[in-house]
Structure formats: C-alpha cells, structure tokens
Amino acid sequence: MLVPRLTVSVAFVFLVLSSPLMAADLVTKQSPYSVSETLDRLEALLAQNGIGVMARIDHAANAERVGLELAPSQLLLFGDPAKGTLLMQEEAVVGIDLPMKALAWEAADGVIWLAYVVPSSIASERGVAGAQDTVAAMDAGLNKLSDAAIAP
C-alpha cells in the first residue's frame, strides 16, 4: 500500500506547486497615498511613457452598487501592444494575463498597498521562452513606474 499513497502524495505536491497562484511573483509595495491617488499617479506615469490604460475598475463602487461594503480597492489594466504582442506571438495563451494589471487597496489597518504580477513571471508561467529582452524591459519598467507612483 506504500506505492498508491506515495503516488497520491507526489501527485498532490505536483498540483500544489504547479498552481498558477503559487507560480506568479506578486510584487506588493506600500503607498503613502490613497487608493485613488496611487492609481492616478501610476496612470499619469504610464501615459507619460506611452503605455495605454485600457480600464480602471473600482471594486468598492461595484460592491456598493449591490449593497455590499468593501474597503477602497481599484484595479488598473494597462499595456503596450508593441510589447505584449511579441509575447502573444510566441505563446497566444499569455493573452489571458494581458493587459497588465495593478491593484491598489486599503488594508484593514488603513495602509494602502499597490501590487502587480512580475511580467517575467507571467512569461515563464505561460511558456514564453523568447522575447527575453522585452520581458526584462517590462519588469524593469513596471518596477520603476510603480516606485515612482508611490514616491513621496
């Protein structure tokens, strides 16, 4: 009976370790600004760098519309088709993760956070082996822009 238990245990460990939630590298940074101001600042920086904003979703406002409460939380969808297309040409499924997203939210203790998934993590998870220069530039650019958005 050792073999079936070992097989089940190995399969379980594989499933847990291969989970998309486990694989993605999430960067989380504290912001001195409100949720709205944090994303306003990031949105302005993106525009200055020629990166388009596709949508802004106010989770708290959506919750309020259905009679529920949620601390301030907003999601910004953005991207540069010149870069994202290169990734999608190699692996179309990367389109499930594009455009890029940044989430700003207020934690229970009142601290504001800004988070995003590292582009190289997305590329790796989706099997994008080429376009390494593009992915590295996306990583560096998003790190720089998010740092600038939360700078005092």
Domain assignment present for 6:
no
Domain assignment present for 4:
no
- For residue 109, give the CATH number of its domain: 3.30.310.70
Mean pLDDT computed over 33-40: 98
pLDDT in tens, 97-136: 999 999 999 999 999 999 999 999 999 999 999 899 999 9
Tokens of 12: 């379980």
The number of domains in the chain is: 1
Q: What pTM value is reported for the model?
A: 0.84
Domain assignment present for 5:
no
Q: Cβ of 50: how many Cβ atoms within 10 Å? A: 8
Range of the domain at 47: 24-150
In this predicted structure, what is the pLDDT of residue 24? 73
| Contact partners, residue 87, CB within 8 Å, separation at least 6 | 94, 98, 123, 126, 128, 131, 134, 135
Domain assignment present for 71:
yes
Domain assignment present for 80:
yes
Domain assignment present for 12:
no
